[in-house]
Amino acid sequence: MTAIQASDLKAATREQWDKSAQGWNDQGALIRAWLREATGAMLEMADIASGARVLDVAAGAGDQTIDIARRVGPSGSVLATDLSPRILQFARDNARRAGLNNIETMVADGEGLDVVAASFDAAICRLGLMLFPDPLRGLRQMFRALKPGGTACVMVFSEPARNPCVAILAATALKHAGLPPRDPFQPGGLFSLGKPGLIDDLFTAAGFSRVATTKVAAPFHAPSVQDYLAFARTSAGPIQQILSQLDDADQSAAWAEIADKLSAFTTAGGWQGPNELLLTAGRR
């Protein structure tokens, strides 16, 4: 990817997440339930303890930021950073509503964090790094921000076959937008870091030691397929980005086909979409 392509992709990503900010925040309860266990495992792997200073990269509406702030307690603190000013405003509002005053926010590209070097005990990034055009740069920024001995942990989607609903969303949206199927592992895509071994190699290249990856099953539960669709239609920034070039009627046709395909995941107890996430940790 050239520097111009990367900067165009980043501008489009910021604009899209500004648009999806309200939806991601409104769907917070479903997202929280979906990622609860995996988030707990991520905070364990990042060795986040009472009193720690933690960097949260691509923090979004701050769901995991709040978990971290509670975990580090009043003697610790979290800096929540994100490319999108609008989604970060939700993180600020949610922190205030939760009565937490150990959270600061900073609008920042994760590939160019203006933070003091060696000033954080831990760094995390939940479902953000795969959207970076150059994830190695993002990991180098996290490495630089950590104190020696500090730990980073990153959560990303694994392979498309292990995340069939996300794969269906992406493939169907591309087809309706008249775009050719994409290499799922291309930089900046939802599965870009799901290629076996890739994220471990990037951690090592960024300078981390003791690099380890764990796979976590994170099925998405919703009362019905319509609830999952409501989540995807309002919050799935990368899918909305693909469909945004279509008029309303063509977008509706795309969502109707997606609904039809995703209905296959309806169970006796509601709708359940399988997902597999990778949690990768490394030490500075």
Enumerate binding residues for ligand SAM (CB under 6 A): 10, 13, 17, 31, 58-60, 63-64, 82-84, 87, 109-111, 126-128, 131-132
Query: Closest approach of Cβ 262 to ligand SAM, in Å?
Result: 19
d(CA 146, CA 167): 34
34 vs 271, which CB is nearer to ligand SAM? 34
CB of 18: closest distance to ligand SAM in angstroms? 8
Could you tell me which residues are beta bridge partners of residue 272?
221
**Residue 189 DSSP class:** S
> Closer CB to ligand SAM, residue 241 or residue 247?
241
CA distance 129 to 143: 14
Q: How far is the CB of 187 from ligand SAM (least distance, A)?
A: 11
| Residue number with CB closer to ligand SAM (75 or 186) | 186
Residues 50, 72: Cα–Cα separation, whole Å? 4
- Taking the complex as a whole, the smallest distance from the CB of residue 128 to ligand SAM amounts, in Å, to 4
Q: Which residue has the tokens 């917070």?
A: 28
Q: What is the distance between the alpha carbons of residues 263 and 265, in angstroms, rounded to a whole number?
A: 5
Helix (H) or strand (E) holding 39, with range, is helix 28-45
- The secondary structure of the chain in percent helix, strand, coil, rounded to multiples of 5, reads 50, 20, 30
User: Nearer Cβ to ligand SAM, position 128 or 189?
Assistant: 128
In the complex with ligand SAM, which residue's Cβ is closer, 84 or 251? 84
If the CB atoms of residues 83 and 153 are measured against ligand SAM, the closer one turns out to be 83
Please give the DSSP secondary-structure letter assigned to residue 129.
G
The residue among 32 and 266 lying less far from ligand SAM, judged by its C-beta, is 32
Helix (H, G, I), strand (E, B) or coil at 85: helix
Q: How far is the CB of 109 from ligand SAM (least distance, A)?
A: 5
Min dist. Cβ of residue 164 to ligand SAM (A): 18
List, in order, residues 6 or more apart from 158 with CB less than 8 Å away. 191, 194, 215, 276, 277, 278
Q: How far is the CB of 144 from ligand SAM (least distance, A)?
A: 15
Burial of 61 (0-12, 13-18, 19+ CB in 10 A): buried
Instruction: Report in angstroms how near the CB of residue 80 gets to ligand SAM at its nearest.
Output: 9
Q: Which of 115, 34, 29 is nearest to 79 (CA)?
A: 115
- Measured at the alpha carbon of residue 141, what is the angle toward residues 138 and 145, in degrees to the nearest 5? 145
Toward ligand SAM, which CB reaches closer, 17 or 203? Answer: 17
